[in-house]
Amino acid sequence: MRILCLIVLCIAAAAAHAQDYAREERWRAEVLGNLVVGDAARIPSPSGRAFLGIYTGGRPGKPAVMLVHGLGVHPDHGVIGVLRMALADMGYATLSIQMPVLASDAPAEDYYPALFPEAAGRIAAAAAWLQKNSKAKMVLVSHSLGAWMSQYHLERTPGAPFAAWISLGRGGPVPALPLPVLDVYGEKDNLAVLESAGARRAAKQVVIAGADHFYSGREQELARVLREFIEGL
């Protein structure tokens, strides 16, 4: 009986951290139903399931930008949705990708380590897809939990094909990486992000005045900061 109880508890724990593919499909349907700028792509994943990307072509000679969203949303949501279009208007090819999600009530701490290997695999697959379709220098832009997922990938992929990484609204120190890093956060960001800002000064750092964690109402200013950094690479 004790063994049975342990088995049940293990199954319940695994289910609590299981990737929510049904939720991901609902996000996909919502995005496709409202997509105005860019084209939807199904990108093959190492896990065997294709995932959603939104691609917009850029001008010849301009870099390509891959965007990674935060906790439990989709690739056209919030600041990432605004940035993918604003950067495309500036001439950059953009690819915004769907990251793995849990149930809507799952806290951020449930994502690590359960979903990070899948997230890293998607970033690698999307980078290969973007290289093939844009043939341009690539920059990785990631927000909040997506920045932690991106860090997980970069630390485990010494040959990652990115010219630089732009991290938005991420707490904690900046890891030692073999590429330029831009750390961006809002003046009114989450407490964890603000309190750890000093630990990220090893990277180039920009504070967006008046911005919260989601850069609400400051997205265009953020896009200009990203453009300045990308053009300086």
Q: pLDDT digit of tens for each residue in the chain (233 aa)?
A: 443 232 222 223 333 468 999 999 999 999 999 999 999 999 998 888 999 999 999 999 999 999 999 999 999 999 999 999 999 999 999 999 999 999 999 999 999 999 999 999 999 999 999 999 998 999 999 999 999 999 999 999 999 999 999 999 999 998 899 999 999 999 999 999 999 999 999 899 999 999 999 999 999 999 999 999 999 99
Nearest to 216 by CA among 168, 170, 164, 173: 168
Assess contact for 66 and 138: CB atoms under 8 A: yes
123: left (phi over 0), alpha (psi -120 to 50) or beta: alpha
- Give pLDDT, residue 17: 62
Residues 6+ apart with CB under 8 A from 82: 219, 220, 223
Assess contact for 27 and 104: CB atoms under 8 A: no
- Give pLDDT, residue 47: 83
- Give pLDDT, residue 110: 96
Burial of 25 (0-12, 13-18, 19+ CB in 10 A): exposed
Q: Using CA atoms, how far apart are residues 184 and 231, in angstroms rounded to an integer?
A: 16
Question: What 3-state DSSP class applies to 1?
Answer: coil
Neighbouring-strand partners of residue 139 = 65, 164
Q: Which domains does the chain have, with CATH numbers?
A: 19-231 (3.40.50.1820)
